[in-house]
Structure formats: C-alpha cells, structure tokens
Amino acid sequence: MIFITMSEKASENAPKILGVMFVGLMALTITFGVLYGQEKSKNEDAVDSAVTPATTESEVDPFADFVRRGPASTNYCEGTKPKHASAEADWYFNDTACLVDGVVQVLEQAGANVTMGYKGEFNVNGREPITTPYFEAGLCPVNVHWHLGAEHLSVGEYDEMGMGPEDNGSDEREGHTCHHFDAADDKFTKPYDWQYCHDMEVGQTYEIHWPHSAAGACGTVHQYQYPFYDGVFCNPGIISLDPLNTFEKIGVHGQVFTIVNDEEYFYPNLIRGMVVDAEREMGTHVTKYTGSTTGTSRDNDVCSKFTPITWQVDRKCHMISASSFDKMCADMLTQLDDMSGDTHPHGSRETTSDETTANNQQNLRKRYF
C-alpha cells in the first residue's frame, strides 16, 4: 500500500524504490490525513444534526479538530512519531545501508562539513533548503536536544583539532570540539552544580539541535515534545509528498557551544532556538543545506531515512554559561510532555561523507544570517 513513486526525481544516484524512504513515512501521514478526513465528515454530520447553525466555510473544522485533540491536557502529538515496527508499512523508516556496490541508496544526510565553501557530492537536483528564519516559513521549534561534541564540522571552529577536558570515559561517541578551552582559565574548569541537566561538564563542547516543524503544535502547551518526531509530525495534512515538501516544512537549527562557568555568558531563553546576538557573532554565520536526522545509530554505513529536511547551522563556536543550559533543562521539565529523556547529551554521528552530503549549501549572509 505504501509503494509510492516519488514525483520529484529524488536523485539520479539513488534507485527509486530505495529513494522512497521518507516517502513511506509521508504515505502514512497522508493515510492519516485521509482517515482524519473521514473522521471529519462524520463529525460534520454530527454537527449538522445537532443545534449548530450553518457556519462559514473554513479550512479546519474546529469541532473535528477539537474531537481529535481531546481535552487540553491530552497530548495529541504523542505516537505521531513514525514507528520502527515490524508492520510492513513501518519498515521504510528503518535506518538503511548508505551504499550498495558503491551506489548511494538514500537521500542526503546530516551532519555535514559546514565550513564556508564546502559542497557535498550528492546531487539534489535543485532542491533548496529554507533560507529565511524558520518562523517566517511557518515553522516553530518542537524540541531541543544536544550532542556531546559537534556532529557538524567547521574548520577552525569545531573540528578534530579542538580541545576540552581530559577524556573521562563517557561512553557516548564524542564529536568535534571547539578551540576556546584553556586549562589555565578557571571558567573552563570550575565545576558547576547542575540542578536540571545531567552528565554535563564545564569546558566541554556540545552541539544543540532545535527541530522545527510547520506541523508542530505551535503556540500550544504541546509545542515541545519528546521524542522530537512527535512534535515534527503532530498535525496531519501539512507535510506532503506530492509535491514533496519535507525540506520546506521541517528544519533544524544547529549551534555549537563550549560551556563556561561564567555568568557573563548567560542566555536565559535557550529553549527557544538558535541564539542570535550580532555583537558576539552568534547566529550570524549560518550554513543552510538539506540533510537528514542524525544520532549515533547512523554513520557512513548506516543512513537515516528521515530526509530531506533543512539544516541551518551556525559555523562559529560560542561560549555559553552552564547556567544557560541548566535553565533550559528546567524549562524543558516544565513542559506538559515529559522531556526528561533529552536533558543529557546524546552521542554524535560521524560527519557525513562527501557522497551522501547534499550539493546545495548556501552560506552567504542574507537579510538575517
């Protein structure tokens, strides 16, 4: 039921069927949309037969939407995360081999080399990332989480030559590190008394990701979700396959930080998205490209099928106070959904190979960044 051929030519490199990954997911979303449509007409009948007078036509039937959502405290986003179940329809989301006999089997991956001037070798056939701020494109943040070290690579900012505290045997895979660390300066070494985040270390590099979606429960108590896929796919009928719009409706902000124990670098609203502060060149040098979801289950052998989505990644590494992170974790724990699964660092994916990285990087400064 799920075999849908992509209307857009996914890639000349990728066999159609295998290029279909995300499409399977979209098909499910569409199926949901259809079911929801049926549900909606039933409810419309119910409304008609009840007291409600004829109302003006609107895109969303508020009554049907109310029925779908249930009471305000019900997390109607929960379970919208596509499953890796044994049901046939769910296999499409499973991670898969990146290459078979030297041929790329998936669409573009992340996190990439975001150094100015870098271009991947994967031909995206003209697909472009969102280049405006996400809010202008109708997306809202639906989650925040971070990785130990940077998954992305920015030469001279966060790369193989960076520094940090001595390796203390954490079993998460560590990504690239920044160059700020100085063992002689106690803001990089003085321990911080963490209250809300855990397994965190002063002096360490972390890459924060803020997944955004136009299908999120934007502006409601359900906006922030764990797992983040629940937030990304919360509302049906927005993310579509035909025309393929996943890279226009889903985007992630990435920003890399070294933690300091110094209140000079306090930013109180880190849950909200990438910090933009021109005085400190924060969020002002951004590479935009299309890729996939990340994490340690993927590398250059095993690829993600949640692709294509937009990435906007700050090429610079910034210092930020431990208290900024701890405040963010406190904010995460006050969300209606339980976000405690994301209040510690996750491991980092290896930086993507040239052949699985898109060739559509944009890094010229526009109106904002």
Ligand X SMILES: *[C@@H]1O[C@H](CO)[C@@H](O)[C@H](O)[C@H]1NC(C)=O
Q: Which residues bind ligand X (CB under 6 A)?
A: 84, 86, 91, 94, 113, 115, 117-118, 148, 153, 155, 168, 170, 199-201, 204
Identify which of residues 134 and 257 has a Cβ nearer to ligand X in the complex.
Answer: 257
Say whether 291 sits in a helix, a strand or coil: strand
Q: Can you tell me the distance from the alpha carbon of 57 to that of 231, in angstroms, rounded to the nearest whole number?
A: 28
Q: How far is CA 318 from CA 87, 179, 321, in A?
A: 44, 10, 10
Give least dist CB 129 to ligand X, A: 18
Give least dist CB 295 to ligand X, A: 14
Strand 205-213 relative to strand 140-141, pairing: antiparallel
Angle among Cα 136, 141, 143 to the nearest 5 degrees reads 165
Give least dist CB 164 to ligand X, A: 9
Identify which of residues 222 and 346 has a Cβ nearer to ligand X in the complex.
Answer: 346
Length of the chain equals 369
Give least dist CB 26 to ligand X, A: 18
Identify which of residues 173 and 280 has a Cβ nearer to ligand X in the complex.
Answer: 173
Q: Can you tell me the distance from the alpha carbon of 200 to that of 357, in angstroms, rounded to the nearest whole number?
A: 30
Q: Can you tell me the distance from the alpha carbon of 57 to that of 61, in angstroms, rounded to the nearest whole number?
A: 8
Give least dist CB 288 to ligand X, A: 16
Identify which of residues 169 and 219 has a Cβ nearer to ligand X in the complex.
Answer: 169
Identify which of residues 189 and 220 has a Cβ nearer to ligand X in the complex.
Answer: 189
Of the candidates 134, 106, 121, the residue with the CA atom closest to the CA atom of residue 288: 134
- Encoded tokens for 149: 């070290």
Give least dist CB 201 to ligand X, A: 4
Give least dist CB 296 to ligand X, A: 14
Backbone torsion region of residue 48, taken as left when φ is above 0, otherwise alpha when ψ lies between -120 and 50, otherwise beta: alpha
User: For residue 148, what are the β-bridge partners?
Assistant: 206
Identify which of residues 120 and 236 has a Cβ nearer to ligand X in the complex.
Answer: 120
- Encoded tokens for 44: 């419309």
Identify which of residues 132 and 189 has a Cβ nearer to ligand X in the complex.
Answer: 189
Give least dist CB 106 to ligand X, A: 14
Say whether 138 sits in a helix, a strand or coil: coil
142 neighbors 213 (Cβ within 8 angstroms): yes
Instruction: State the residue number with the nearest CB to ligand X.
Output: 199
11 neighbors 125 (Cβ within 8 angstroms): yes
Q: Can you tell me the distance from the alpha carbon of 36 to that of 63, in angstroms, rounded to the nearest whole number?
A: 13
Which H/E stretch holds residue 158? strand 158-159
Identify which of residues 76 and 181 has a Cβ nearer to ligand X in the complex.
Answer: 181
